[in-house]
Amino acid sequence: MSASRLQRIQQVLNQRQPDLTAVMAGVHKEHNVSAVMRTCDAVGAWEIHSVGQDGRLVIKRTAAAGVQRWVRLHQHPDVAEGCRALRDRGFQLVAAHLCDEAVDFREVDYTRPTALVLGREKLGVPEAALAQVDTAIRIPMAGFTDSLNVSVAAAVVLYEAQRQRLEAGLYDQRRLDDETYRRTLFEWVQP
Amino acid sequence: MSASRLQRIQQVLNQRQPDLTAVMAGVHKEHNVSAVMRTCDAVGAWEIHSVGQDGRLVIKRTAAAGVQRWVRLHQHPDVAEGCRALRDRGFQLVAAHLCDEAVDFREVDYTRPTALVLGREKLGVPEAALAQVDTAIRIPMAGFTDSLNVSVAAAVVLYEAQRQRLEAGLYDQRRLDDETYRRTLFEWVQP
Ligand SMILES: C[S@@+](CC[C@H](N)C(=O)[O-])C[C@H]1O[C@@H](n2cnc3c(N)ncnc32)[C@H](O)[C@@H]1O
Ligand SMILES: C[S@@+](CC[C@H](N)C(=O)[O-])C[C@H]1O[C@@H](n2cnc3c(N)ncnc32)[C@H](O)[C@@H]1O
């Protein structure tokens, strides 16, 4: 390992946000899963969740497969249990979901521990997930399209979170605890 | 046509931004083209451009095909000519492109007439387009991923443009000239 590679790994670890994550609630198209995971990595999410897949999410494509090393994917066959586990860890659950009660996505405070819940390509966020969320958010749309692509919606919200966290200085000091930092550094320097 | 449908059409037309557009510079994967077009519609882009396809961009999927009615797709086989045509109309050309000279995407003033240039899935923005752009922008990434999905990158920038234009009041008053407004209204009320 070169010195610059080690430095890069440390830099990434120093910016990882243990309290920012996304929950793919039935998102299953390969290109969407891949795009969401790349965006999560880019905003520094520490982990990513998939809830309620029939069976398990199979990640075939190289792009997404590679990202999994840097953003760990946790799979929860049961939607409600997966969401509850995140709530129990102190995350606010924010669902990207176009309903009457949804607030503008820019109104939410994403500097708080946040899990962004994303819905299925055709059917949106499952009821069992909606039952657990704290807030529903909408990305305003001024045209005739009914909804945005799910990986697009994820990115718009996650980059608003990134903006707020940048402003709040959350990328300026290490957010991981010492033990996690050391353990992961050790793991990531392995070839 | 119901009264509410007519009202919806007028509302969309009243928010259309004749001076905001995207240029797909060789973007060709169906799901990316579709996602970019839906996002363009959602932020009120009046038109969309495709430059430098070998032959023409074929839009098969229903989702994107439907959007084409509301956001007109202009195809320019020649990259340089397509870009020049937009410059001649007074657009600043802003390329989403990760290079050393790229500035943070949030530093650009998108309330000016803006065409966002997007690069190919594998090869990025073609040289012939780069030769014409005013500014290259980057979306900051804090992980190991080399680049974002192109429709994701498009959305992050276009929603920054939407934010700036919202703040500047550009969605509050009609931006289309009377003739274009009337002509399009007539067209859109046809079944
Ligand atoms: C293609 S949409 C699903 C649309 C589905 N027909 C529905 O009504 O929920 C896939 C997912 O993208 C997200 N999404 C798309 N557009 C959105 C918007 N404008 N605001 C918030 N979330 C959005 C939501 O998580 C949604 O479940
Ligand atoms: C998958 S990327 C292409 C990557 C290609 N290997 C390159 O180096 O240009 C496809 C397009 O998405 C856009 N893009 C992706 N990530 C970006 C970022 N972080 N900043 C700006 N544009 C980005 C650019 O327009 C790029 O051409």
Decide if A147 contacts A97 (C-beta within 8 A): no
> Which atom of ligand 2 lies closest to the CA of B118?
25
Mean pLDDT in residue range B15-38: 95
CB of A132 within 8 Å of a chain B CB? The answer is no
- Which of A53-57, A67-71, A125-129, B180-184 is the least confident region? A53-57
Angle between helices A30-43 and A150-167 (to 10 degrees): 0
Is residue A97 lining ligand 1, measured as CB closer than 6 Å?
yes
CATH class of B17-175: alpha beta
Question: pLDDT at position B33, please?
Answer: 94
Closest CA to B153 of A82, A187, A149: A149
CA-closest residue to ligand 1 atom 7:
A124
Domain A3-183 sits in CATH at 3.40.1280.10
Model confidence pLDDT, tens digit, residues B99-156:
999 999 999 999 999 999 999 999 999 999 999 999 999 999 999 999 999 999 999 9
CB of A21 within 8 Å of a chain B CB? The answer is no
Question: CA of B129 to nearest chain A CA: how many angstroms apart?
Answer: 24
Q: Which residues contact A75 (CB under 8 A, 6 or more apart)?
A: A49, A50, A51, A53, A56, A57
Check: complex ipTM more than 0.95 = yes
SS3 A92: strand
Ligand 2 mean position to B123 CA, how many Å? Answer: 9
Question: CA of A18 to nearest chain B CA: how many angstroms apart?
Answer: 13
Q: Residue ranges of the domains in chain B?
A: 17-175
Question: pLDDT at position B95, please?
Answer: 98
CA-closest residue to ligand 1 atom 12:
A150
Model confidence pLDDT, tens digit, residues B37-62:
999 999 999 999 999 876 567 676 66
Chain A residues touching residue B171 (CB < 8 angstroms): 142
Cβ-Cβ contacts under 8 Å between A and B: the total is 116
Confidence of residue B1 (pLDDT cuts 50, 70, 90): confident
